[in-house]
């Protein structure tokens, strides 16, 4: 049994954030149907299924589309909308990531669907939300994290802000909160027998992630500055160091006992009194001793290779991590043990590697049941299940309503 077995999801998303969120639901057992547009849309960040059997290999390596089927509907055509309405009558969840107002113009908005299916849970992902002065503005991850205050805090004090890939808003701020909201709404529906509308904004999610860092600001109006707090690497007990082989090691000696362990290992017990104080949360100290300590650590870590340091630090109960390249990540023994890289058998292409499933449920674990589909691969199958006969399907295809 899978945790979300029997939950039917219509996925209207077109780009990575929404598609990643629905992948999380599919991994846990939900039946996810990608509702895609005719043709193939090429753009940066696209999560549209590839078209044609010659692109099968490209398709199946795209993990965010796994555990999904694909139907192509032209929602601008009345006949295409009617197919969608039939699907919505049977669905539990709809997820869309269009700019506000688009689904209403297409006639597949929450109010329309809710009248047909009051139990529907309708999740809308958008940059700034469905209302407010910015709700129509375009945007991408870099814009949301800059407006939410995170980008301004990433990087060194001397330099410009550093872009942290599109991980914060695109893959955490929206899809994780969207999936969480959907799960909460499913539980609520068990109590009320009613669905509801989920308004998930990328910027809202990013601001929520900032919760830990807002304490000092709300308490005393202290505004943290880039590169000036302990979690920015402003203090040598929490930072990145180059090693003898030109690679890098990280240490995270935030707790006093870890710092003591490091100082003793290096034979510098005199550094033990210099450790975390509450001011380190918000500002860099003027005490020059910290620069002395940092300089010493930089030289010390250059005396051994990254892997030698990792073994030595861990043996002495000191938080450490190797700065890995992608190929190193997926050969690491802990990653392999935790099944965060898996192989899925494909009938013609053999073993296909995929990123594993992060939530480890003891009784209802997630599973990769199918690899990603081609564009419209399941159109006919889905239409037949909805009650369309072959002649009707061919008519829909001729009308351009499906493909």
Could you tell me what percent of the chain has a pLDDT over 70?
98
- In DSSP notation, 61-121 reads T-GGGTTEEEEEB-TTSHHHHHHHHHHHHH-SEEEE-PPTTHHHHHT-SHHHHHHH-TT-E
Decide if pLDDT at 243 tops 90: yes
The CA angle 172-175-179, to the nearest 5 degrees, is 120
Backbone angles phi, psi at 378, to 5 degrees: -110, 15
Q: Is the pLDDT of residue 42 over 80?
A: no
Of the candidate ranges 18-27, 42-51, 176-185, the one whose mean pLDDT is the lowest: 42-51
Question: What are the boundaries of each domain within the chain?
Answer: 8-209+356-398, 230-329
Per-residue confidence (pLDDT) for residue 387, from 0 to 100: 97
Residue 138: Cβ within 10 Å count: 8
List all residues 6 or more positions away from 17 whose beta carbon is below 8 Å from its beta carbon: 97, 125, 169, 170, 171, 174, 175, 202
C-alpha closest to that of 64 among 91, 26, 37: 26
Range 333-339 average pLDDT: 98
Cα–Cα distance, 292 to 271 (Å, whole number): 10
Among 141, 170, 204, 232, the active-site one is 170
8-209+356-398 adopts what CATH topology? Answer: Rossmann fold (3.40.50)
Q: What digits encode the pLDDT tens for the residues 304-334?
A: 999 999 999 999 999 999 999 999 999 999 9
Question: What pTM was computed for the model?
Answer: 0.95
Q: Which residue has the higher pLDDT, 85 or 230?
A: 85
Confidence of residue 40 (pLDDT cuts 50, 70, 90): low
pLDDT score for 45: 65
Catalytic residue among 135, 140, 275, 346: 140
Q: Rounded to whole angstroms, how far apart are CA atoms 3 and 292?
A: 54
In the residue annotation, 140 being an active-site residue is answered as yes
pLDDT (average), residues 373-394: 97
Reply yes or no on whether 286 is catalytic.
no
pLDDT of residue 24: 98
Express each pLDDT in 260-286 by its tens digit. 999 999 999 999 999 888 778 777 887
Cα torsion through 388, 392, 396, 398, rounded to 10: 150
Tell me the average pLDDT across 228-237. Answer: 88
Q: Which helix (H) or strand (E) holds 57?
A: helix 56-60
- Give the model's pLDDT for residue 44: 60
pLDDT in the model for residue 271: 97
* φ/ψ of residue 86, rounded to 5: -65, -40
CB-CB contact of 114 with 120 (8 Å): yes
- Helix (H) / strand (E) element for 250: namely strand 248-252
Q: Which fold has domain 230-329?
A: formyl-coa transferase, domain 3 (3.30.1540)
* Contacting residues for 283 by C-beta, under 8 A, at least 6 apart: 222, 224, 225, 228, 229
d(CA 258, CA 291): 20
Q: How far is CA 173 from the centre of its chain?
A: 8
For residue 106 the two structure tokens come to: 């297409």
Structure tokens at 48: 């549209």
DSSP 280: G
- Report the pLDDT value the prediction gives residue 157, as an integer from 0 to 100: 84
Q: Which residues lie closer than 8 Å to 338 by C-beta, 6 or more apart? A: 356, 360
- How far is it, in rounded angstroms, from Cα 74 to Cα 195? 26
Residue 109 scores a pLDDT above 80: yes
Whether 146 has a pLDDT exceeding 90, the answer reads yes
Say which DSSP state 226 is in.
T
In angstroms, the CA 126 to CA 361 distance is 30
Q: Do domains 8-209+356-398 and 230-329 have the same CATH topology?
A: no
Q: With cut-offs at 50, 70 and 90, classify the pLDDT of residue 287.
A: confident
For every residue of 152-196, DSSP letters joined together read: GGSS-SSS-----TT-SIIIIITHHHHHHHHHHHHHHHHHHS--E
């Amino acid at each position: 049994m899978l945790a979300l077995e029997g939950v039917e999801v219509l996925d209207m998303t077109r780009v990575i954030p929404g598609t990643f969120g629905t992948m999380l639901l599919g991994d846990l057992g939900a039946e996810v149907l990608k509702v895609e547009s005719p043709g193939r849309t090429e753009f940066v960040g696209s999560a549209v299924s590839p078209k044609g059997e010659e692109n099968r290999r490209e398709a199946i390596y795209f993990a965010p589309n796994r555990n999904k089927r694909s139907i192509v509907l032209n929602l601008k055509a009345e006949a295409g909308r009617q197919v969608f309405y039939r699907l919505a009558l049977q669905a539990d969840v709809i997820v869309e990531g269009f700019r506000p107002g688009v689904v209403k113009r297409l006639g597949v908005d929450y109010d329309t669907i809710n009248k047909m299916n009051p139990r529907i849970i309708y999740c809308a992902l958008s940059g700034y939300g469905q209302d407010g002065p910015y709700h129509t503005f375009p945007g991408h991850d870099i814009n949301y994290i800059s407006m939410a205050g995170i980008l301004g805090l990433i990087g060194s004090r001397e330099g410009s802000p550093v872009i942290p890939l599109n991980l914060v808003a695109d893959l955490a701020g929206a899809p994780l909160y969207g999936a969480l909201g959907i799960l909460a709404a499913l539980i609520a529906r068990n109590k009320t027998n009613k669905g509801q509308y989920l308004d998930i904004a990328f910027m809202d999610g990013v601001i929520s992630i900032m919760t830990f860092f807002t304490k000092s600001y709300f308490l005393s109006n202290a505004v943290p500055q880039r590169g000036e707090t302990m979690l920015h690497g402003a203090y040598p007990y929490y930072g990145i160091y180059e090693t003898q082989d030109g690679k890098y090691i990280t240490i995270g000696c935030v707790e006093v006992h870890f710092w003591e362990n490091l100082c003793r290992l290096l034979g510098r017990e005199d550094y033990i009194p210099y450790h975390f104080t509450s001011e380190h949360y918000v500002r860099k100290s003027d005490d020059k001793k910290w620069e002395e300590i940092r300089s010493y650590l930089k030289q010390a870590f250059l005396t051994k290779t990254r892997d030698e340091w990792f073994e030595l630090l861990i043996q002495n109960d000191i938080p450490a991590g190797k700065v890995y390249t992608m190929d190193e990540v997926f050969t690491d023994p802990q990653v392999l043990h935790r099944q965060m890289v898996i192989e899925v058998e494909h009938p013609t292409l053999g073993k296909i590697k995929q990123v594993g499933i992060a939530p480890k449920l003891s009784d209802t674990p997630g599973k990769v049941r199918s690899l990603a589909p081609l564009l419209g691969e399941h159109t006919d199958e889905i239409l037949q299940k909805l009650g369309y006969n072959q002649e009707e399907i061919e008519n829909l295809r001729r009308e351009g309503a499906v493909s």
